[in-house]
Amino acid sequence: MAVREISDAEFEAETSTGTVLVDFHAAWCGPCQLQGPILDTVAEETAGVARIFKLDVDANRSTAERFAVRSIPYLVMLRDGEVVRTFTGLHDADTLVSALRSA
């Protein structure tokens, strides 16, 4: 399953069930651009286990404020809509895959 961009309007519906990783990012953020291809790998390795989404903090301020995003990339792992873990900064695929599989 590919990584998909979601909006404030879609956030609740897309994250309320199952294991989900959301990448809060911005187009102007260098580390966010590096995180993108890593998330593609994570999505491939966790297909059927977790879904991966991206949310642009500039275009979706409401959700970014709700999660008190202060620096990006900021990744939030949710299980059935509840936050189970957060990651600040750039993270490698192995770390993220391991976290998602153990969620």
pLDDT digits (tens, 9 = 90+) for 78-89: 999 999 999 999
pTM over 0.85: yes
Count of domains observed in the chain: 1
List, in sequence order, every residue forming a beta bridge with 75; answer none if it has no partner.
Answer: 23, 87
Choose among 102, 87, 99, 103: nearest CA to 42: 99
Distance in angstroms (rounded) separating the CA atoms of residues 71 and 74 = 6
Question: What is the extent of the structural domain holding 18?
Answer: 4-102
Q: Which CATH number belongs to the domain containing residue 33 in this structure?
A: 3.40.30.10
Tell me the Cα Rg of the chain: 12
Name the residues annotated as catalytic. 29, 32
Please state, rounded to an integer, the average pLDDT across all residues of the chain.
96
Q: Could you tell me if 31 and 89 are in contact, meaning their C-beta atoms sit under 8 angstroms apart?
A: yes
